[in-house]
Amino acid sequence: MAAASATLIAELDEAVDGRSPEQRAEILRQVTNLFLSDAHRLSESQIGLFDDVLIRLIERADTRTLVLLSNNLCQASSPPRKAIRQLALHEDASIAAPVLKKSNHLPAKDLVEIANTYGQQHLLAIAGRQTIHESLSDPLVERGEPAVHHALIQNLGVRFSEAGCAALVEKARHDCQLAERLVRRSDVPPGPRRELIAKLGDARMRFLQSVPPAMREKIQTTVATTAEPREAPAPGPMDYAKARAKIAELSRTGRLNDSTVNRFAVGREYENVVAALSFLSAVPIEVIAPLIKSTELDGLIVACKAARLNWSTTTMIIHHRPDCAAVTKQELEAGRVVFDTLSLSVAQRTIRF
């Protein structure tokens, strides 16, 4: 088999030499498709042969072709392991990210090595993996910047060591948004959790005192609006279990965005709309759910702004709310003023009251 592989590689080199980048990309695409179509019935030696071919083609491929290859191979059940590893170790994060985030066939030592030596975009991709053990989360916490820390905290598949958790708590003392997300994790020890909750209370009080009177009145109205609908029984958390799981998967695969939430709204899939707003604004579902059916729009508009949705998506959410009266043009115009006036930071802090 080794001799056959060497002969094939020599013939491949001869065939590829002198070809244009487009022709090389097409050869790689055809080899990849051939592998993926037959991967489930290939022997180890046959997979190894494909691996050798792919490695040779990877060395001569352009970035766009390698990004496509990485996306194609990252979820293969029996992937060519050397090719997967070479993609994961690529210095271009756009090439490495799909494999780092989704492949279950990368050795733990390789992931730890990348977490200890590569840049922030590589670390961010690793932080999105379905499961992350303590030996891998430690270097991500130590070397990661805030975006990596936030991704780790929101990933329920991450396990933190005692030292890693302590390091995150220390960082959260200087980052209110990180603190707000960290206190929601069940694996934060009671003592540090109480400290973070106290810090958040102080920060919110200082924020409210710094807000201009007109905006303060708007915030107080929003808080009251949020409280009003709670007279009716709120849906239990289990009602949203499936929606939460769907939103988490969409986020993990990079598909949670305005157009997705817009489609949910138009389709009146309001369990998904509520779960998306909750996830994107980092507040409990119990805060978001009453806003959907409230006769006052301000609370819902603040939630949409805090979730970084655009006005077009916000309008679809307002228009298609279940069991709600139609919104007048004047109400919508007034809502647009609120939406445009609110800054993202004010909206996020407001909805978290």
Residue 330 is encoded by which pair of tokens? 């004047």
Return the exposure string of 240-256: e unless at least 16 CB atoms fall within 10 Å of the residue's CB, then b: beebbebbbebbbeeeb
Q: Are 42 and 78 in contact (CB under 8 A)?
A: yes
Closest CA to 142 of 120, 111, 173: 120
Task: Read off the pLDDT of each residue in 183-202 and give the average, rounded to a whole number.
Answer: 81
Looking from the CA of 186 toward its CB, the CA atoms found within 13 Å total: 3
Task: Read off the pLDDT of each residue in 126-130 and give the average, rounded to a whole number.
Answer: 94
pLDDT in the model for residue 302 = 87
CB atoms under 10 Å from CB of 86, counted, come to 19
> Dmax of the chain from CA atoms?
80
Spatial neighbors of 207 by CB under 8 A, at least 6 apart, are: 349
Distances (CA, A) of 143 to 109, 111, 127, 139, 149: 17, 14, 12, 6, 10
Residue 212's pLDDT band (cuts 50, 70, 90) = low
Task: Read off the pLDDT of each residue in 139-156 and give the average, rounded to a whole number.
Answer: 93
| Strands annotated E in the chain | none
Residue 75 is encoded by which pair of tokens? 């979820």
- DSSP, collapsed to helix, strand or coil, labels residue 158 as strand
Residue 127 is encoded by which pair of tokens? 């932080």
CA distance 87 to 237: 40
Task: Read off the pLDDT of each residue in 16-37 and give the average, rounded to a whole number.
Answer: 77
Residue 107's pLDDT band (cuts 50, 70, 90) = very high
DSSP 8-state assignment for residue 235:
P
Q: What are the percentages of helix, strand and coil residues in the chain, rounded to 5? A: 75, 0, 25
Spatial neighbors of 340 by CB under 8 A, at least 6 apart, are: 311
CA distance 134 to 350: 34
Residue 184 is encoded by which pair of tokens? 């929601």
Q: How many residues does the chain have?
A: 353
Is 350 or 196 the better-scoring residue by pLDDT?
196
CA distance 245 to 347: 25
Q: pTM of this prediction? A: 0.60
pLDDT in the model for residue 147 = 92
CA distance 314 to 335: 10
Residue 225's pLDDT band (cuts 50, 70, 90) = low
Task: Read off the pLDDT of each residue in 81-91 and give the average, rounded to a whole number.
Answer: 95
Task: Read off the pLDDT of each residue in 61-71 and give the average, rounded to a whole number.
Answer: 92
pLDDT > 90? residue 234: no
pLDDT in the model for residue 231 = 43
Residues facing residue 132 across a β-bridge: 158
Cα 5 from chain centre: 41
Q: Are 307 and 297 in contact (CB under 8 A)?
A: no
Is 159 or 195 the better-scoring residue by pLDDT?
159
Distances (CA, A) of 341 to 301, 305, 336, 352: 11, 10, 8, 18
